[in-house]
Structure 1
């Protein structure tokens, strides 16, 4: 389903054997740099809440839109509970799960919030957001709090949000840089289909060409 989560795959009774640790240092990310968290195209998890009801879903279609103020775009099917809650509240949480959280990511992406309480069913730990009334997932590694910007593009199931707060697990992101290190469980994920993910690979640098001229973004 477009923007409605992830294609279904089998989950076993042992899928949720470990809960995420709450012992994580969450460091603020400067808002003009917040969209950098999404530049490499990982799968995301959206949290939403309104009037005592909350929901969580995975979303592969999410991307940066602008730097300052930082804006993001997510695709959320109009038939989902997540869409209903976001439209009612005007806010949502956008977070990046790690490989360690892949089973939970698949679960919240393949089950409908109208049928079950996914936070309870999949034993998801949460913490309070800083600037919006939405639960944030403790098991993720970056978090963005977003306020909806009304726009006609919503007729295409797009939601545009301004990032009003952002923070990251200091083990993988600090000083405006990703640094995944040697722990494969802390890498972000990219979803394909049928329960198949790719983990983010190794970083490498490319030096500018010797004859390259400095240019402003507008002149490129």
Structure 2
């Protein structure tokens, strides 16, 4: 599978439904990957994201050193590896190798794209020292966005395969998978609003 480019104006759509993500980083010959349930899109133009990265993690160390990170959207088929990525430290060895996660090269950042995911956002840190120190919250400007064309096209997610649906972490090893899509049309005075079409 070759990822397709997602227009930066639509990058928020890769995270807008609230999936758990894999955060990948690299600096000085080291790389790491961790899971993060607390992430979200922040803005459209330029596109921005937020993610919580605890100050004790190797991922945090590498993000602070490089000023870059990738948010990758795993599917249900990667749930076990996603849980493992969030449950062990990268200080004990290369988590990509330990988890059997291959990588794809990013186009704008050094951090790798975890292979097998369904979406990727390449990000550069927007330096906000106060919120980074106080809340472990990192803001990133999205500089490139990619998606698996089998799961995302024409500006929308679609999940023809159950095992490839994005996942949402609850706690204690429990996830939900994204459900079926449905559309609600905005009405004005009993008629469909043409501006909403």
Aligned match for 1:185, one of 158, 163, 181 = 163
Residue of 43, 46, 57 corresponding to 1:69: 46
Instruction: Please report the TM-score for the alignment, with normalisation by the length of structure 2.
Output: 0.93
Measured on the aligned residues, the alpha-carbon RMSD in Å equals 1.6
Q: Summarize deviations over 1:36-64 as a string: whole Å, max 9, x none.
A: 11111010000001100110000000001
Query: What does 1:142-157 align with in structure 2 at a 5 Å threshold?
Result: 142-151=119-128, 152-155=130-133, 156-157=135-136
Partner SS for 1:54: strand
Give the TM-score normalised by the residue count of structure 1: 0.84
Q: Is 1:166 the counterpart of 2:121 in the alignment?
A: no
Structure 1 position 195 matched with structure 2 position 173: yes
Following superposition, the deviation at residue 126 of structure 1 comes to 0.4
Tell me, in whole angstroms, the C-alpha distance in 1 between the residues paired with 2:31 and 2:49: 21
**What is the CA deviation profile of residues 53-94 of structure 1, one whole-angstrom value per residue up to 9, with x for unaligned ones?**
110000000001100000000000011100000000000011
Residue in 1 that maps onto 2:187: 209
Give the gaps of 5 or more residues in structure 2. none
**2:2 is aligned with 1:35:** no
Match of 1:18 in 2: none
- Partner of residue 68, structure 2: 91
1:197-217 residue CA offsets vs partner (Å, 9 max, x unmatched): 110000111111223998xxx
Displacement of 1:134 in angstroms is: 1.0
Aligned partner of residue 159 in structure 1, secondary structure: strand
Structure 1: which 4+ aligned runs deviate by more than 2 Å?
A: 209-214
- Residues matched between the structures, number: 191
Partners of 2:180 and 2:152 lie apart in 1 by 14
Tell me whether 75-84 or 148-157 shows the greater mean CA deviation: 148-157
Aligned to 1:19: none
Q: Output the CA distance in 2 between the equivalents of 1:118 and 1:145.
A: 19
